[in-house]
Amino acid sequence: MRKCIEIERTRTSTTFVYCYLTFPARAMSEKEKEMERVLNSYHMVSADKSECVLVLKELKRMERGRKAFRIVDGIVLEQTVHDVMLELENRAESMTAMIKAHEDRIKTIQQVLNIKKSL
């Protein structure tokens, strides 16, 4: 299986276009497997960030001193809305950095795969 991935980046979004070509009796190369793992991780982090941003949006409408309850590893924690917002903002920032690192890794792997194809 060969994948061609084009990344189009605008101010508001990043678009990935996938092209799949199958070759019978050919196993995926290590780089293709790595690409698959990185893409899966990228999508998971992107989904987590979307959820985080959605929760932040809702919390901004609430009073900062109000009680909030979070479940972390199966344990219910009582905090203020302000404390939860600070933690979620930090988490969203770290996820943004992770997404950027994934995008860079995807570009690097794609360049290696393109070089392999041209040989």
Q: Specify the higher pLDDT residue, 30 or 64.
A: 64
Q: How large is the average pLDDT for residues 25-47?
A: 84
Fold of 28-109: Helix Hairpins (1.10.287)
Q: What is the pLDDT of residues 59-68, one digit of tens each?
A: 999 999 999 9
pLDDT band for 29, please (50, 70, 90 cuts). confident
Q: How large is the average pLDDT for residues 27-42?
A: 86
Q: How large is the average pLDDT for residues 81-109?
A: 95
Q: What is the pLDDT of residues 37-47, one digit of tens each?
A: 999 999 999 99
- Say whether pTM exceeds 0.85: no
| % of residues, the chain, pLDDT over 70 | 76
Collect contacts of 79-88 with beta carbons under 8 A, ≥24 apart.
Answer: 84/59, 85/56, 85/59, 85/60, 88/52, 88/55, 88/56, 88/59
Residue 65 contacts by C-beta under 8 Å, 6 or more apart in sequence?
Answer: 80, 81, 82
**How wide is the angle at C-alpha 62 spanned by C-alphas 59 and 77, nearest 5°?**
60
User: In 10 A of CB 53, how many CB atoms?
Assistant: 13
